[in-house]
Amino acid sequence: MQRRSVLKGAAALAGSSALAGCKPAPPSTSAAHIQGSFVGQAWERGHAMRDRLAQGLPLPAPSRTHRVQVLIAGGGIAALSAARALRLAGTSDVALLELEDQAGGNSRGGTVQGLRCPLGAHYLPVPGDSAPEVQDLLEELGVRQRVAGRWQYKEEYLCFSPQERLFIHGEWQEGLLPTQDVAASTIAQYQRFAQLVDSAMRAQPFSMPTMRSWQAQGGLAPAHQALDAIRFDTWLAQQQLDDPHLRWYLDYACQDDFGAGCAQVSAWAGLHYFASRHGFQAPGMPDDAHDSVLTWPQGNGWLSEQLAAPVQAAGWLHSGHTVMRIAETRQGVEIDSFNHANQSMERWQAAHCIVALPTFIAAHVVQDPPDFLRTAVQALDWAPWQVTNVHIRAPLRDRPGAELAWDNVLYDDVAHGGLGYVNAGHQRLNAMQQLPTVLTCYRALGGNQPGASARSARQQLLAQTWEAARDQTLATLARAHADIYEKASHVEVMRYGHAMAIPRPGTQTVLSRIGQPASSSQHPALINGERLQALPTPSTGRLHFAHSDWSGYSVFEEAFTRGLYAGMNAG
């Protein structure tokens, strides 16, 4: 019996147990008894130092000085990738400074009541051939292997079926594209959009990471510049694609990757979501996206933990540090950081520094920031996010339709930034282990209306109480699971003020022009022996900038590749 068959039977068994027995009592509608807290982001650390700088107060004198060959400022995926590149190149004298207690940035994993769950990004699409660097990492980690001459991904890391379902019109349907009881004109528009995506892919390939196509074209290709110049909703109107179900799905897709909807992102970004991966599969057309998602109980936290492990083992990781100043000197680089453990300022001297910080932070801490850094900050905006993990102690009574899936979306909530929930226990096999589990609920707050303010949403997110966040999440879940208040036993809320860059119109055109061209003689080798042409990296000589911001949107492939080449340059 295959793994997926066992899982399907397990899910059915869990569902049937919830329906057996006497008629249930009316469900509770109060969350007051459910405990929990905010977790993760140490907002007070960064804001305390920010406020000090804003008030013009001098920094404390450093209490001690450290000397290393390479210092990495930041601890997200780009930083961890840079550390890996340095380690593989044989560089051993490295320090990595991270504000939080745990490295990983938006790809961290957590634990709720003993169960692993994501605190941010929860999946990685199987990388295509335009991302050999990511393929190489997955090979190193044992996720990807060659079997009988062909590359295969281990089944336990691929998302099991059922992968997705949608709650619409009071019941669940398989898949996220609304297909039940829709008009023939809706199907026709689905198919029309699929054809347009395919045409765009053929006319000018979309790559992930984006800088691979920038290198090939000497910047953003003219066809892509035209798409980058207008909003996605404007482009859709030009193509006479106005079906509300299609527009709903495209808003969902854009908020999923970019934190904002079709009225906020560029047409380039809206098409890139599909064209850089598996296209758009419309009903009645071939579907080649089977088994296309890699996931773990803690989401991409599994990947960040694998990357962080050798950094911690080498003693390179210094958590609880706020980087306050980065200055390039004739002799090297000087970095001042505040150590929150002992409440003191420390100075670091290095030959090179990898600035793996969001660009808006880098622009504040880098002394005499280069013009290209100022340009990048002006071109970018960032979407806030809320990630809520709900511990479920017993089976939920489900509405009719498709069975519990890995990704579960509520149609009516997408207009408010709600992206549904993923089931952290989805990869388990044993039916008796299906519960308890954790439902990880996502809410993107960048907006899906023209003129929506990410800054205003960020302020509201910070001001919101934990109880309000809990109540909002459970009220949303109660639309599909009336007994959520009885079965939820603990709630933890993660807030990201600047979760991801929003690729607004013009962003890609600006960013594609930034980066020190790689030497034609640079051909870095991957672990599998393959040699690649190095990709351009924003650099001043001793400062090497690495973050997904430099690609204009926040996904693992962009951050990892950016970090890899920054690390190669610094080593």
* pLDDT tens digits along 122-134: 999 999 888 999 9
Separation between Cα atoms, residue 294 and residue 304, nearest integer Å:
14
* 277 close to 241: Cβ distance less than 8 angstroms: no
On the question of pLDDT at 3 being above 50, the answer is no
Residue 345 and residue 337: Cα distance in Å, rounded?
Answer: 6
Phi-psi category of residue 142: left, alpha or beta, with phi > 0 → left and psi -120 to 50 → alpha: left
More confident residue, 414 or 397: 414
Residue 7 reports pLDDT greater than 90: no
Write the CB contacts of 361 (distance below 8 Å, at least 6 apart in sequence): 46, 323
Burial letters for 253-268: b for 16+ Cβ neighbours within 10 Å, e otherwise?
bbbbbbbbbbbbbbbb
Q: What percent of the chain has pLDDT over 90?
A: 70
Both structure tokens of 355: 């600035």
Quick one: pLDDT at residue 518? 54
Whether 185 shows a pLDDT value over 80: the answer reads yes
Band (pLDDT 50/70/90 cuts) for residue 19 is: very low
Where does the pLDDT of residue 48 fall: very low under 50, low under 70, confident under 90, or very high at 90 and above? low
DSSP-derived secondary structure letter, 23: P
Report DSSP state, residue 508: H
Taking 50 as the threshold, does the pLDDT of residue 16 lie above it?
A: no
CA distance 110 to 297: 10
From residue 167, alpha-carbon distances to 137, 316, 318, 554 in Å are: 36, 46, 44, 27
The confidence score (pLDDT) of residue 214 equals: 87
The answer, yes or no, to whether residue 222 has pLDDT greater than 90, is yes
Cα 390 from chain centroid (whole Å): 20
Mean pLDDT highest for which of 51-55, 151-155, 240-244, 327-331? 240-244
Find tokens 């936290």 and name the residue.
301
List, in order, residues 6 or more apart from 496 with CB less than 8 Å away.
41, 106, 120, 384, 385, 386, 387
Give the amino acid at 78.
Answer: A
The full length of the chain comes to: 571
Residue 468 pLDDT: 95
**Hey, which residues does 281 pair with through a beta bridge?**
none
Q: Which of 155, 182, 184, 185 is nearest to 166 (CA)?
A: 182
Amino acid at 428: R
pLDDT at 28: 64
- Give Cα 121 distance to the centre of its chain: 4
Which tokens is 259 given?
């934190």
Which H helix or E strand runs over 387?
strand 382-392
Nearby residues of 8 by Cβ (< 8 Å), 6 or more positions away: 161, 162, 403
Residue 13: predicted pLDDT: 32
What the block records as the tokens of 477 is 């879940």
Tell me which CATH homologous superfamily contains domain 44-108+297-380+505-570. Answer: FAD/NAD(P)-binding domain (3.50.50.60)
Domain with CATH 3.50.50.60 in the chain: 44-108+297-380+505-570
User: How many Cα atoms are found within 13 Å in the side-chain-facing hemisphere of 102?
Assistant: 17
HEC sequence for 178-210: CCCCCCHHHHHHHHHHHHHHHHHHHHCCCCCCH
Q: Residue 166's pLDDT band (boundaries 50, 70, 90)?
A: very high
Tell me: pLDDT of 507 over 60: yes
Whole-number Å distance between alpha carbons of 305 and 104: 7
Q: What is the pLDDT of residues 254-304, one digit of tens each?
A: 999 999 999 999 999 999 999 998 889 888 776 654 548 999 999 999 999
Residue 250 has pLDDT above 70, yes or no: yes
CA–CA separation, 98 and 75 (whole Å): 5
Tokens coding 114: 């003993």
What pTM was computed for the model? 0.91
The pLDDT score that the predictor gives to residue 194 is: 96
Strand partners, 174: 165
Residue type at position 150 = R
Per residue in 296-345, pLDDT tens?
Answer: 999 999 999 999 999 999 999 999 999 999 999 988 999 999 999 999 99
Q: Report H helices in 89-218.
A: 132-140, 184-203, 210-217
pLDDT at 451: 72
Give tens-digit pLDDT for 76-130.
999 999 999 999 999 999 999 999 999 999 999 999 999 999 999 999 999 988 8
Least confident of 5-19, 219-233, 531-545: 5-19
Q: Helices marked H in 218-335 — which ranges?
A: 222-228, 232-238, 244-258, 267-275, 301-313
For the segment 215-226, the average pLDDT, to the nearest whole number, is 88
Would the pLDDT of 533 be above 80? no
Rounded Cα gap, residues 264 and 497, in angstroms = 18
pLDDT digits 0-9 by tens, 419-472: 999 999 887 755 334 679 999 999 999 887 777 788 898 889 989 999 999 999
Output the average pLDDT for the chain.
Answer: 88
Alpha-carbon distance of 123 to 299, in angstroms, equals 6
Percent residues over pLDDT 70 in the chain: 90
